[in-house]
Chain A
Amino acid sequence: MKKLLEVNNVSKTYGDYKALNDVSLSINKGSVFGLLGPNGAGKTTLIRIINQITMPDTGSVILDGEPLKPEHIKYIGYLPEERGLYKTMKVGEQALYLAQLKGLSKQEARQRLKYWFDRLDIGDWWDKKIQELSKGMAQKIQFVVTVLHNPKLLIFDEPFSGFDPINANLIKDEILKLRDDGATIIFSTHRMESVEEMCDHIALINRSNKILDGRLVDIKREFKNNTFEIGLITPDHNNTTSLLKEKFEMFPANFKSINDELQYQIKIPDGHSPNELIGYLTSLGQLTHFVEVIPSASEIFIQTIQKN
């Protein structure tokens, strides 16, 4: 697949503090790339480097085959985590100004703004001042301003903060639609359920180093450890439990069920298959539930950070 963005061995030091240490990433065209990591890990520094707000000390960034240069700003749309608008400026005026900074002509910007304002149903805010709007409303304007110049690369840092669930969903759908239209998206957030829903690819940065990188499904495959969640109806639960515990590594499980059954997570020992487990379990009683335990993004996040 074609790469839109390549970050090669980027390091950045502020005084004595190393913000990024030899970080490399490559992001496929048309994908949603989750950039994850605890607070202060170096995500924002990396994003700022991609936006040419700061320069890396060493390493390079390649956008669409070319080393990053000032003209590239018009191909990038950035919604920073620390964001805001001029409070006393009118919505329309401000959106036009920001669009022109990204290289759109005034006329073009006006046209596209009209499209987006109609689309998000905010057309009648044009003459309002930002300070008259609620936080969520201002965020919508901010979103429009970010995507207005049809950038190839969109960088969203916590895009859903300040939105109610309905609007968060609306924005999520808009982001996915932008991806379907060909944009590449870097998505940085602490909300793991959004990562789960949206990201194709993730990278995890901790203490200035990249510690995990890959397709979300591959990472999950890597993190699963042959554990299955089972539900089993047996004549004597206690007896069966001790029988199972002799043979397997077991963890408590808790899922919703209408049956009064044994609930456990069972790890299959190396060299055995799930089918063998099913065979054994059915010999003990009636199997009502058998699901592979796939780690969530959140679990992967916590595990990896703790190990690190």
Chain B
Amino acid sequence: MTFLSPLLFVGIFALVAYLSNLNNDTVRTVNVMDESGLFIEEFVSSSQLQYKIVFDTTLDEAKKDAEENQVYGLLYIPKTEDLGALSRGITFYSKDSPSLSTIGSINNMLEKKINALKLREAGIDSEIIKKLHIKISANQETFGGQETSKLGSGLKLAFGGAAGYLLFMFIIIYGNMIMRSVIEEKTSRVIEVIISSVKPRLLLLGKILGTTLAGLTQFMIWVVLIFILMAVASSVFGIDTAAASPSQQMLEQSVDGGAQKMVHDLMLEINNLPILNLIIMFILFFVGGYLLYASLYAAVGAAVDSETDTQQFMMPILMPLMLAVYVGVFTVIDNPHGTVSQVFSYIPFTSPVVMLMRIPFGVPLWQQLISIVILFLTFFGTVWFAAKIYRVGILMYGKKPTYKELFKWLKY
């Protein structure tokens, strides 16, 4: 599974991309009945949307005709005295409710045309408006002279967020794996055979280390596959990988002819990110955070008899993790170096996620190191705690323990 699941993920991604491409292959025909005669020139058919102009019929006949010929829909534009009434009178008839993209593009086109018509009515040339439109983007620079930009902030957020979220997912996925393996040994009753040969603490540590290494291996596979995926995606689907960033698309629309510069800027921003720092810290925080949580997951597995019983004990594990993600997302966006984000990037139960989110914004190395040290020290604490629960729990069958009983187990 370690190797298979990333492959599966990529496979599904490719399948979805392929299917959505396939989905767009169908050509939709829309009949247009334009009584006002204002829009005739605007309806330019594309490969996916074809317009057919109908003349000299009544609305009822046109509707009947559209239904019989099974066209996608009928767009009716009435003839009115003024543009205001016109805009309210436009109706799209169809068998089912039309797809959002189709109706969206039709609305867009009509809106533009009506706007232009209104401007002309008011005696203003739309070309003048275009010329008057000025895009302002204040140059951002740190005191150190490093250029910063909104684009850069977005990128940092994206990278940090992705790293933090990925870590969160890894902890949950691999934590569950270790918990299931403990439960399996318990329910199959193989556990007593095993621990007559191996000390429970060693078995627990072996499990944790084993799954950590499996997790790291999978992470590496992910990294490699993501690069391959990006390359494949850009060649097969003709997407320029660099253009995938939404902020970049946004800017591309507002500034004409600046696409070249954008790509250049983007590359520059990516180069400015502490990628190496991020990757190394991801690995360290993954190992630390995973060790921390895996030992707790193992303790939960040992305390119960079946996976259905795990619910009540999962809450205390999932809460800090969720908290980390939310705190990370909301406070880091606002102020990556604010008090709350700083504090949470030291608390060992939230630090892996929150610190990873902060790192792209530039966190001093000493802060990162302190956080790592606290994390690993806490790990020794939780592993001690987990080993106690584990040692007792694996040999207890039947009754689901309460928190009070778990507490008692610590003293056995």
**Chain A interface residues (CB < 8 Å from chain B):** 14-15, 48, 51-53, 70, 73, 76, 78, 80, 82-87, 98, 101-102, 142, 145
Contacts and interface: CB of A to CB of B under 8 A. Distances in A.
B177 interface: no
B165 to A, nearest CB: 32
**Best-surrounded residue of B184, B195, B196, B199 (most CB of chain A within 10 A):** B196
Given A14-B412, A15-B408, A70-B199, A78 B188 contact: no
Contacts of B400: none
Interface of B: 184-185, 188-190, 192-200, 395, 397, 408, 411-412
B192 A73 contact: no
What is the predominant secondary structure among interface residues of chain A facing chain B? loop
29 contacts: A14-B412, A15-B408, A48-B395, A51-B196, A53-B200, A53-B395, A70-B199, A73-B197, A76-B196, A78-B196, A80-B192, A82-B189, A82-B192, A82-B397, A83-B189, A83-B190, A83-B192, A84-B188, A84-B189, A84-B190, A84-B193, A85-B190, A85-B193, A86-B190, A87-B188, A98-B197, A101-B194, A101-B197, A142-B193
**Best-surrounded residue of B192, B195, B397 (most CB of chain A within 10 A):** B192
Given A80-B192, A83-B190, 14 more contacts: A51-B196, A53-B192, A53-B196, A76-B196, A78-B196, A82-B397, A83-B193, A84-B189, A84-B193, A85-B193, A86-B184, A86-B185, A86-B190, A87-B188
B198 A85 contact: no
A76 B195 CA distance: 12
Contacts of B411: 15
B198 A101 contact: yes
Nearest 3 CB-CB pairs, A to B?
A84-B189, A101-B197, A80-B192
Contacts of B195: 53
B272 to A, nearest CB: 49
A102 B193 CA distance: 11
Contacts of B188: 84-87
Nearest to A79: B193
Contacts of A87: 184, 188
A52 B395 CA distance: 13
Contacts of A76: 196
Contacts of A84: 188-190, 193
Contact of B193 (A52, A70, A98): A98
Contacts of B196: 51-53, 73, 76, 78, 80
A99 to B, nearest CB: 9
Contacts of A86: 184-185, 188, 190
A10 to B, nearest CB: 16
Contacts of A82: 189, 192, 397
A207 B372 CA distance: 51
B412 A15 contact: yes
A53 B391 CA distance: 9
Contacts of A14: 412
A82 B395 CA distance: 9
Contacts of B200: 53
B193 A78 contact: yes
A48 B192 CA distance: 9
A102 B197 contact: yes
A11 B194 CA distance: 24
Nearest to B397: A82
Nearest to A78: B196
Contacts of A102: 197
B122 to A, nearest CB: 77
A87 B183 CA distance: 13
A101 B199 CA distance: 11
A83 B193 CA distance: 7
Contacts of B397: 82
**Best-surrounded residue of B188, B193, B200 (most CB of chain A within 10 A):** B193
